[in-house]
């Protein structure tokens, strides 16, 4: 033991570990900093996990158009613990998004962004945006049809921005079309550029926490007065403050470990998202859908009237960022207690409800055809008539099932046709199918008379 102690003393003397970390561990924090304060540390735990799993994945991943898809297939299905590794990285990204969102909600509800912590809020907003950008760029690295087409959709949306749209789309993709150069660019975004900014702002964010201290739990009737707050806070810490370690840090450690264990278990049980088919420009029957944390934005633009979409794409994100960055300057003093700030709590509830509903809509995507639907089974047709059976096959082959639902199977874009035979007679059905209507194409030039008769016979059976 004496020898080990001498070795440690030598290392500590030359490295200065104690001088660096002891003041951080002994840093005094306000009493009552309980479980509501753990989300920021949990985000940091997730970031460390993402770095470790990202480095491990990069040892096998090939960032080239010819090798990316196959390398991920190899990692998922052949590499030792590869499926689990990909799953950890995927659920780690989701965990990081959830924790940074919960942390910002807690900061906003308790008004911890007020003086003197305005820059902590601003750096947190930047970190939120960088985290979402990390998730978006990571999706294309799968180099499957869903990831590639999602990026194409994003580029098309950027291209509709007035004046700078074309330049922004080319900057995102690295050219006028998507290809190997796009994959290389997204790999650089995801592995080098965005992480560099995340590390920079995380360091700055933690430095501000040490400099300005952790915000004390809010108390009704104790408003923030910038002219006296620093003196009051210093005096409060001297009288009532406790060392960060172990009195406050143990909760961060426990919750962080629980978060990591949850991510590991989810990755083991569910694994990563399955790769779709390799990217193929000729395959147009696809409904690209981003990962869940981008679905709310995906839904919002899908439901938006086309006339305002181009302006909303440009103005919406800029306005949102401006509002978030201006929060600490609009309300830099006054009450912090949620009891005295009911409108702030109401606003958070409303925004959360809207985002949740948009997320649910994004998962079902009722505005888009469901190209992944399977053909109707003989059991669902329930007929021995060869004409009806042929009509059911045509209903799938001609793409009708992509948009219309029959007995719980099919798309949501068009009306449910399970009981259409009760609403329309054969003549009316013929007119609708031949001429089309609204967003339904006219099938008059695509169907023979016997095919049209078979389709009508199948639909007439649905009563």
Task: Please compute the mean of the pLDDT values over residues 30-47 and round it to a whole number.
Answer: 90
12 found inside a domain: yes
Q: Which ranges constitute the DSSP H helices of 213-248?
A: 229-240
- Do 303 and 422 lie in one domain? The reply is no
pLDDT number for residue 190: 95
Give which of 191, 193, 242, 254 is closest to 217, Cα–Cα.
242
369 found inside a domain: no
pLDDT number for residue 284: 54
Dist. CA 322–CA 190, nearest whole Å = 25
Is the CB of residue 298 less than 8 Å from the CB of residue 289? Answer: yes
**pLDDT surpasses 90 at 99:** yes
- Do 115 and 225 lie in one domain? The reply is yes
Q: Picking from 23-32, 82-91, 190-199, 246-255, which range would have the lowest pLDDT averaged per residue?
A: 23-32
Which of 301 and 229 is assigned the larger pLDDT?
229
373 found inside a domain: no
- Do 8 and 60 lie in one domain? The reply is no
- Do 334 and 412 lie in one domain? The reply is no
**Owning domain of residue 6:** 1-27
pLDDT number for residue 401: 85
- Do 286 and 330 lie in one domain? The reply is yes
Q: Note the pLDDT tens digit of each residue in 342-366.
A: 999 999 999 999 999 999 888 877 7
Task: Please compute the mean of the pLDDT values over residues 102-115 and round it to a whole number.
Answer: 95
Q: Which of 327, 342, 364 is the last residue of a domain?
A: 364
The token duo for 22 is 């002891």
Give which of 294, 14, 23 is closest to 151, Cα–Cα.
294
Categorise residue 373: left if φ over 0, alpha if ψ from -120 to 50, beta otherwise.
beta
371 found inside a domain: no
- Do 53 and 148 lie in one domain? The reply is yes
Q: Which of 338, 364, 390 is the last residue of a domain?
A: 364
Is the CB of residue 358 less than 8 Å from the CB of residue 300? Answer: yes
339 found inside a domain: yes
The DSSP symbol for 36 reads G
Dist. CA 208–CA 203, nearest whole Å = 9
Is the CB of residue 82 less than 8 Å from the CB of residue 75? Answer: yes
Classify burial at 372, counting beta carbons within 10 Å of its beta carbon; exposed 0-12, middle 13-18, buried 19 or more. exposed
- Do 156 and 20 lie in one domain? The reply is no
Classify burial at 414, counting beta carbons within 10 Å of its beta carbon; exposed 0-12, middle 13-18, buried 19 or more. middle
Is the CB of residue 127 less than 8 Å from the CB of residue 198? Answer: yes
Mean pLDDT of the chain: 88
pLDDT number for residue 269: 96
Give which of 426, 459, 429, 461 is closest to 444, Cα–Cα.
429
**pLDDT surpasses 60 at 16:** yes
265 found inside a domain: yes
Q: What share of the chain is helix, strand, coil (3-state, %, to 5)?
A: 70, 5, 30
Task: Please compute the mean of the pLDDT values over residues 133-143 and round it to a whole number.
Answer: 92
Percent of the chain clearing pLDDT 90 (strictly above): 47
Q: 3-class DSSP state for residue 97?
A: helix
The token duo for 186 is 């997204």
Give which of 17, 37, 106, 44 is closest to 247, Cα–Cα.
37
Task: Please compute the mean of the pLDDT values over residues 368-397 and round it to a whole number.
Answer: 81
Dist. CA 422–CA 434, nearest whole Å = 20
- Reported pTM: 0.84
CA-CA-CA-CA dihedral for 449, 450, 452, 455, to nearest 10: 180
Q: Note the pLDDT tens digit of each residue in 304-334.
A: 887 787 778 778 888 999 999 999 999 888 9
Q: Which of 337, 364, 391 is the last residue of a domain?
A: 364
CA angle 287, 95, 63 (to 5 degrees): 60
Count up the domains in the chain and report the number: 3
Dist. CA 418–CA 408, nearest whole Å = 8
Dist. CA 213–CA 198, nearest whole Å = 21
221 found inside a domain: yes
Classify burial at 221, counting beta carbons within 10 Å of its beta carbon; exposed 0-12, middle 13-18, buried 19 or more. exposed
The token duo for 142 is 């799968």
pLDDT number for residue 281: 60
Dist. CA 61–CA 288, nearest whole Å = 23
- Do 43 and 188 lie in one domain? The reply is yes
**Distance, first Cα to last Cα, the chain:** 85
* CATH number of the domain that residue 428 is part of: 1.10.760.10
- Can you tell me which residue has the tokens 């921005």? 161
372 found inside a domain: no
Dist. CA 46–CA 103, nearest whole Å = 13
- Do 358 and 425 lie in one domain? The reply is no
Is the CB of residue 52 less than 8 Å from the CB of residue 96? Answer: no
- Do 220 and 345 lie in one domain? The reply is yes
Is the CB of residue 114 less than 8 Å from the CB of residue 335? Answer: no
Task: Please compute the mean of the pLDDT values over residues 250-254 and round it to a whole number.
Answer: 93
Q: What are phi and psi of 336, to 5 degrees?
A: -115, -20
Q: Picking from 66-80, 155-169, 447-461, which range would have the lowest pLDDT averaged per residue?
A: 155-169
- Do 41 and 128 lie in one domain? The reply is yes
Dist. CA 20–CA 206, nearest whole Å = 14
Neighbours of 403 (CB within 10 A): 19
Dist. CA 339–CA 221, nearest whole Å = 10
Q: Picking from 74-88, 270-284, 409-423, which range would have the lowest pLDDT averaged per residue?
A: 270-284
- Do 197 and 302 lie in one domain? The reply is yes
């Amino acid at each position: 033991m004496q020898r080990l102690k001498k070795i440690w003393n030598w290392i500590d003397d030359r490295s200065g570990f104690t001088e660096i970390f002891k003041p951080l561990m002994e840093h005094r924090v306000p009493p009552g900093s309980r479980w509501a304060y753990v989300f920021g540390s949990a985000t940091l735990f997730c970031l460390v996990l993402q770095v470790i799993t990202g480095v491990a994945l990069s040892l096998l991943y090939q960032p080239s158009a010819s090798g990316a898809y196959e390398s991920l297939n190899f990692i998922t299905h052949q590499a030792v613990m590869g499926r689990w590794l990909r799953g950890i990285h995927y659920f780690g990204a989701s965990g990081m998004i959830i924790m940074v969102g919960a942390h910002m909600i807690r900061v906003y509800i308790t008004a911890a962004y007020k003086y003197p912590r305005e820059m902590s809020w601003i750096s947190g907003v930047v970190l939120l945006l960088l985290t979402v950008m990390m998730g978006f760029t990571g999706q294309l690295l799968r180099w499957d049809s869903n990831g590639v087409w999602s990026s194409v959709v994003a580029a098309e949306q950027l291209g509709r921005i007035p004046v700078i749209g074309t330049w922004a789309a080319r900057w995102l993709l690295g050219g006028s079309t998507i290809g190997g150069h796009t994959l290389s660019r997204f790999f650089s975004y995801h592995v080098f550029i965005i992480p560099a900014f995340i590390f920079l702002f995380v360091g700055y964010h933690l430095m501000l926490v040490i400099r300005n201290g952790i915000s004390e739990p809010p108390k009704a009737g104790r408003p923030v007065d910038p002219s006296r707050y620093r003196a009051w806070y210093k005096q409060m810490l001297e009288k009532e403050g406790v060392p960060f370690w172990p009195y406050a840090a143990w909760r961060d450690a426990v919750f962080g470990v629980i978060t990591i264990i949850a991510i590991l278990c989810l990755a083991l049980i569910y694994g990563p998202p399955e790769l779709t088919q390799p990217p193929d420009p000729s395959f147009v029957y696809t409904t690209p859908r981003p990962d869940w944390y981008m679905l709310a934005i995906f839904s919002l633009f899908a439901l938006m009237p086309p006339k305002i979409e181009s302006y909303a794409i440009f103005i919406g994100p800029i306005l949102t960022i401006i509002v978030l960055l201006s929060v600490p300057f609009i309300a830099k003093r006054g009450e912090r207690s949620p009891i005295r700030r009911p409108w702030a709590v109401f606003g958070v509830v409303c925004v959360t409800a809207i985002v949740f509903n948009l997320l649910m809509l994004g998962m079902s995507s009722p505005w888009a055809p469901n190209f992944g639907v399977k053909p109707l089974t003989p059991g669902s047709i329930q007929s021995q008539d060869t004409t009806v059976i042929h009509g059911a096959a045509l209903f799938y082959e001609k793409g009708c099932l992509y948009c219309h639902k029959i007995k719980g199977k099919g798309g949501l874009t068009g009306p449910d046709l399970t009981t259409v035979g009760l609403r329309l007679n054969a003549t009316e059905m013929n007119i609708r199918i031949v001429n089309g209507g609204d967003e339904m194409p006219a099938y008059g030039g695509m169907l023979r008379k016997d095919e049209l008769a078979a389709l009508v016979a199948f639909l007439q059976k649905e009563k």
